[in-house]
A and B are shown apart, each in its own frame.
Chain A
Amino acid sequence: MSNSFKLRAKAQKGVVTVKALINHPMETGLRKDSKTGKAIPAHYIQQLTAKSGARSVLDAVWGGAVSTNPYLSFSYNGVSGDSLTLAWADNLGNSDTTTVSIS
């Protein structure tokens, strides 16, 4: 599950704005396969964390109602040159993490 991220972090006037796109099916478990009529099993990101260096800047818990290929944007006080690490874990035990340097 590597490279599930598109991540950008930009610092402007001491505020870092993070924009992230994650490739993930985000199945609620309620949808049915249109051909077989069987329920498609739930598969969604449950937890997401963002760290700048060792400092935790955001953590989130998600349900299946976050859209497929989730988009997330947030901002925090920081400077360019620092690193930003984003990580997620889903209900099937998959996880991924990526680090970018803040521009």
Chain B
Amino acid sequence: MFIWRSAGLFMIGQVVNYHYEEIIMQRRTLLKSTLAASAAGIAASAGLLMPGPVLALYPGAAFEAKEDATALSAAVGAGSYEFSDKIEIRAPDIAENGAVVPVSVSSSLPDVESISLLAQANATPLVASFNLHGSQAFISTRIKMGKTGNVLAVVKSGGRLYAAEREVKVTIGGCGG
């Protein structure tokens, strides 16, 4: 009888102990995260963490959008564009590796504010969007393409959107391929 009781107590003790530790752990992680957050806040407000604009709002919805128009309106504020021959896309006709497709975009349009790149065959078409702040209308980078499709370059010039497209044939996919 006595043995049983003590065993029972011991077990209860274990359970209580376990809970206690769990609470302590939760408190620790909570403390940690609040501390980290406030530290980040202080660093950010002091301008130590990053040069300003990096902390600007990230348009997550634009990159999750499955339609070009939705992605564009979330990224650059408008979903409709007209095609223009003043935008040049340089990309290979056939990409052997869809994970690395070199793409360059240049434009002779005036006052180019931004250049956005979309791979239309990807599940989420928006790849990247660049704000130029008066820089030359030229961007060169490498993108992933899941399968053969058009690369769409959307240029914002004078508050309006212009676009050009170019088909790239992909022989090996780049997204989960």
- Hey, which bits of chain A sit against chain B, CB under 8 A? 15, 28, 30-32, 46-49, 51, 55-68, 70-77, 85, 87-89, 93, 95, 97
Contact = CB atoms under 8 A, between A and B. Distances in A.
B131 A46 contact: no
A72 B143 contact: no
Contact of B129 (A15, A31, A60, A75): A60
Interface of B: 40, 49-56, 58-59, 62-63, 75, 99-102, 104, 119, 122-124, 126-136, 138-145, 174-176
A59 B101 contact: no
B99 A67 contact: yes
Given A65-B127, A74-B136, A28 B50 contact: no
Main secondary structure of the interface of A (DSSP, over half): strand
B58 A61 contact: yes
A41 to B, nearest CB: 13
B141 A66 contact: yes
B135 A75 contact: yes
A66 B100 contact: no
A47 B134 CA distance: 19
Nearest to A71: B142
B62 to A, nearest CB: 7
Contact of B175 (A46, A65, A93): A65
A78 to B, nearest CB: 9
A63 B135 contact: no
Contacts of A48: 54
Contacts of B100: 67-68
Contact of A30 (B55, B102, B119, B175): B175
B132 A58 contact: yes
